[in-house]
Amino acid sequence: MGTPIVTAVIMAGGRGERFWPKSRKKCPKQFLSLTNDGETMIQKTVNRISGLVKPEHVYIVTNDEYINLVEEQMPQIPKENLLREPAARNTAPCIAFAAAVISKRHGEDAVMLVLPADHLIRHEAICEDVLHRAANAAVETQSLITIGIAPTYPETGYGYIAFSRSEKAPEGFYRVSAFKEKPDYQTAHHYVESGHYLWNSGMFAWQAKTFLQAVQAHLPEAASIAQKLHDACDTDSFEEVLEQEFPKMPSISVDFGVLEHAEELYTISGSFGWDDVGSWPSLQRVARTDENGNYCDGDIMAIDTKECVISGGKKLIAAVGLEHIIVVDTEDALLVCDISDAQNIKKVTELLRAQGREEFL
């Protein structure tokens, strides 16, 4: 057995609304540049792994609506590597689809680095190293590997992984003993203090066969559909099979549908300035801020203003005497929001939906 090929599977079908009004149905977060450097989040994700994975081994799972954005933003990825989900079915079916195609094209030993398209990482080189070690560990242990992140504060917006030492684990890896859903603040505080928990980054490494075996064991229906996709892949009937079979997939996340039930599951404790950038306020943590802690993107004049998130375009934006305020200006919609109320931005999109103002969604 030679060294298996390393592929990447980038999940880019999300429709997040937490970056409204910049993120819209037609252009969600992963296709936006949120870091004032011109690169979109998915472009950053693809560039991040360019030292580990050749462009022809990068797969992007998306859908009809975003296929043009993917092609525009990543012309270097072969078109046959853009996988279109005919229906949204959460992450387990998404990854099973990719595993079916990858095992057909690159063999069942091929390693898959599974990555969300819309996270930010401050220390790219360290991240690359961790992913490289995870890929090796996946082959060495023939197990599922999840990338954990050493938590730096009691974030309540992330899931956590409980880990323990194990003699079977490769050096630097730990056995996953439990997945924990988003905790309340006190629980998160306990997790961080205890030293036994990591953030669940949603990044994974495994061989295609390992994942497909786990799907067979825990989501047998999904496995039989994945087998059909595998068989049809690169034949004339593929599109038809995809359209017919994929929507029958159970809608379930890879964490709950597969990983929680796996017997052998390892994690590594990554520390590379990872952030899932789940909301406007998170830009203060991960993007460049001025000397007053303001994140500013656009033609911004900030006077007596601190710890604000201000994102515009060509228009002059003058901020005076503001503290902890989000200002996001677009062509047709403007958001001004107190940072502590950022979770209520969804009330705006809910109200717009209820009012039938789809043009703003």
Q: Nearest distance from residue 331's CB to a second copy, in Å? A: 8
Q: Nearest distance from residue 32's CB to a second copy, in Å? A: 18
Which tokens sit at 64?
């009809």
- Give the rounded distance of the alpha carbon of 1 from its chain centre: 32
State the Cα–Cα distance between residues 222 and 251, nearest whole angstrom: 10
Which tokens sit at 89?
């079915």
Among positions 12, 13, 17, 21, the unique one binding a second copy when judged by CB under 8 A? 21
Part in contact with a second copy (CB under 8 A); list of ranges 176-184, 255-263, 288-296, 317-325: 317-325
Q: Which is nearer to a second copy, 110 or 283 (CB)?
A: 283
292 binds a second copy (CB under 8 A): no
State the Cα–Cα distance between residues 297 and 325, nearest whole angstrom: 14
360 binds a second copy (CB under 8 A): yes
323 binds a second copy (CB under 8 A): yes
304 binds a second copy (CB under 8 A): yes
Q: Dihedral of CA 288/292/294/299: which sign?
A: negative
Query: In 3-state terms, what secondary structure has residue 92?
Result: helix
Q: Which is nearer to a second copy, 214 or 317 (CB)?
A: 317
State the Cα–Cα distance between residues 190 and 183, nearest whole angstrom: 10
56 binds a second copy (CB under 8 A): no
Q: Which is nearer to a second copy, 80 or 341 (CB)?
A: 341
354 binds a second copy (CB under 8 A): no
353 binds a second copy (CB under 8 A): no
- Give the rounded distance of the alpha carbon of 15 from its chain centre: 12
State the Cα–Cα distance between residues 286 and 212, nearest whole angstrom: 35
Q: Which is nearer to a second copy, 148 or 312 (CB)?
A: 312
Among positions 111, 225, 229, 335, the unique one binding a second copy when judged by CB under 8 A? 335
Query: In 3-state terms, what secondary structure has residue 314?
Result: strand
Using an 8 Å Cβ cutoff, are 97 and 227 in contact?
Answer: no
Interacting residue ranges for a second copy, rule: CB under 8 A: 21, 301, 303-304, 312, 315-323, 325, 327, 329, 331-338, 340-342, 344-345, 347-348, 351-352, 357, 360
